[in-house]
Structure 1
C-alpha cells in the first residue's frame, strides 16, 4: 500500500500462498464516483471485480465512511451485490404448461398477480416459480440473471492516526477490519471454514440440486472417509468426494 491515493493504474496480479493452497490476488485501480458509467476506466475495473470470489476494499479511515457507500453504489450499479445472498427463489423455465407458482410460506409482498405481471414484462409465459418470502426486486434479479453476489471485507487503513475511542466506533461497522499498513497492525488473519453446500455452489449452482452426499477425508471428520450431508462444515486441507443422485 502506498502513502498516497490512486497509485495503482492497471490490474496487478499476484499469488498468496496459504499453507498448501495458492490464492490468486488481483490489485485493482481505485473506483471513483461514476465508475459504473465508465468514468475513470470504471467499466474495465468493475468487470474484473465481477469475476472474483472475494473482494477486499481498502479505505482511508481518516476519510468519511460515505466513500464506502459510493463504492457500494458503483458496484451495485454494475450488478455486484456485496455481502448479500442470492434471491431465495426457485426459477425453472419450461416449454409449455404456463406459470406454476408455489409459495412455501406466507408472502409479505408478492402475490400471484404481481408475479405474473413481472414475468409478462419479460415475455416469460412458461415457468415454475417457488417463492420463499421474496420481494419484487428479488424476482426481477432472478429473471434478469445479471447480478453476482460476492462476500466483501473493508480494510480501514491508517488506524495509527486515530484515537482509541474512534477505533472502538470503527469496530462496530459491519464487515470492517481496522488496519495500519505502515505499522502492519492487525494483519494476522485466518481463512474461514465453509460448508459443503457453499463449496458445491462455488463449483456450479446446479451441483447442489443433484447432491446426494459427500465423502470427506480430513480434520473435520472422525473417520476417513466419512459420509456427510450438505450442512457439514469443512476444515482446511479436507479432501472431499461429491456423490450425485
Structure 2
C-alpha cells in the first residue's frame, strides 16, 4: 500500500471515529501515525531527486520578501498578479491557464516584494495530482502565503487547501509548539509540564516517542499540546527542515457576486481581505494588509552630524535587532561597533544608546558609532 493511500485511510478513519473519553487514546495513535506518514511522504518527495512530481519551480528568490499565491484553478491568482505588478500572467475562462510559476514585483514602502503566481492546485495535490507538489514545494520558500479563494466558491475550499499544505509539512498561522525535547542515553522518558495536559496522557506520549525509537529523553511541555504537536517536535529533532511555520493571508476574490451578509462575514475573519479583481475593488486595503501580514519594518541610517537617509532605507522583518541591521550593512560591522544611537518607536527617549541585541521597530533611525581601532 502506498503512503498516500495509508494517509487517506487514516484520514477516513479519523473522520468516522466519534470523539469522546473512550476514543481519545485511539484518536491520538491515529494522529501520530498520520503525522509520521505525512513526514515520510515529504521525505519521499525530497529523495526523488526533484522529479516532476516533487521539485519546486526554479525561480530565484529576489527582493526583500517573497509572497506565493496559492489556490484552486480560476480563482483569480493571475488577475491579482497582473494588478499588483508589471508582469503579465495569462488569463482565460478555463482552468489551468497558468502552467508554471510566473514571478512579478510589487514596490511597497520602499520594499521590493517578489510575488509568485503559481498554477492552481486541486484536492489530492500532496498525493501527486496535477502539479500540486511543485506548487507546495515552491510555497515552502515564501515568507507569506496568500491563499486566493473564490468568495462564492466551495465553503470548505480554505479547509481543503490548508490540509494539502499540512500534509507537505507547512503549518500556516501557527507557532512552533512550545515543547522542549532532549534526547539522552539513559533514564527512560521523563515528562514534565508547566500547564495541564488535556490531550496527551503519559501512556500516549511514551507510545508516540517509542515509535521514533526514542527510549530515553526529557520532555517539557509549556503548552497544552495535541499529539500532532508532539510529533512535529520529534520530526524537527530529526529533520529540522521537515516543518515550515509560515504566515498565511486569506484573500476572497469575486466579492462583486456575493451578498452583503456573506461579504461582511468574510471580511471580519482573521488574516482575511476581500477584493474583486474584475472591478478592482478594495485593492488598496489588500495591499496595506499585505504589508502588515508580511511583518516588514523600515530602518533608516544616519551618520554623525548629518540628516537621516530616508531614501535608501533598509527593509527587515519584525523582530530584527540592531545586529541584524549591521550585518545587512556589512558583515564585519558588528565586530567594530562601540554602540548605536536609536531614534523612533523602539527608543525610550530620543536618541537612546543601545547594544546589538536591541530590537528595532518600523521607521526607526539608527546611527552606528564604531570603535577606534589602530591600523
Same fold, TM exceeding 0.5? yes
Change (3 A) 1:173 1:64: farther
2:251 is the counterpart of 1:155: yes
Alignment partner of 1:41 out of 125, 131, 152: 131
Change (3 A) 1:231 1:87: farther
In structure 2, the partner of 1:19 is 109
2-side partners of 1:240 and 1:147: how far apart?
38
Equivalent residues in 2 for 1:95-114 (5 A)? 98-114=188-204
Secondary structure in structure 2 of the residue aligned to 1:114: helix
Q: What is the aligned residue count?
A: 230
1-side partners of 2:317 and 2:101: how far apart?
32
The unaligned stretches of length 5 or more in structure 2 are 1-78, 80-90, 237-241, 298-315, 321-339, 369-375
Secondary structure in structure 2 of the residue aligned to 1:6: coil
> Following TM superposition, by how much is the alpha carbon of 1:10 offset from its aligned partner in structure 2, in angstroms?
0.5
> Following TM superposition, by how much is the alpha carbon of 1:25 offset from its aligned partner in structure 2, in angstroms?
1.8
* Structure showing the higher strand proportion among its residues: 1
Change (3 A) 1:218 1:53: farther
Alignment partner of 1:134 out of 212, 225, 237: 225
Root-mean-square deviation (CA, aligned residues, Å) is: 3.4
Alignment partner of 1:59 out of 149, 157, 166: 149
Q: Deviations over 1:63-95 (max 9, x none)?
A: 122222221121112121222222121123345
Alignment partner of 1:199 out of 319, 338, 341: 319
Structure of greater Rg: 2
Alignment partner of 1:235 out of 332, 356, 362: 362
In structure 1, the partner of 2:350 is 223
Q: Note if contact 1:197-1:231 (Cα within 8 Å) is conserved in structure 2.
A: no
Q: Deviations over 1:19-46 (max 9, x none)?
A: 2322222211111111011110111111
Change (3 A) 1:64 1:111: closer
2-side partners of 1:67 and 1:29: how far apart?
16
Change (3 A) 1:108 1:66: closer
1-side partners of 2:150 and 2:199: how far apart?
39
1-side partners of 2:179 and 2:120: how far apart?
34
> Following TM superposition, by how much is the alpha carbon of 1:139 offset from its aligned partner in structure 2, in angstroms?
0.6
In structure 2, the partner of 1:177 is 273
Change (3 A) 1:90 1:26: same
> Following TM superposition, by how much is the alpha carbon of 1:114 offset from its aligned partner in structure 2, in angstroms?
2.9
Which TM-score applies when normalising by structure 2?
0.53
Q: Note if contact 2:342-2:354 (Cα within 8 Å) is conserved in structure 1.
A: no
Q: Deviations over 1:105-160 (max 9, x none)?
A: 22223343332222111011343321122122211111112322211111111112
Change (3 A) 1:66 1:114: closer
Which TM-score applies when normalising by structure 1?
0.78
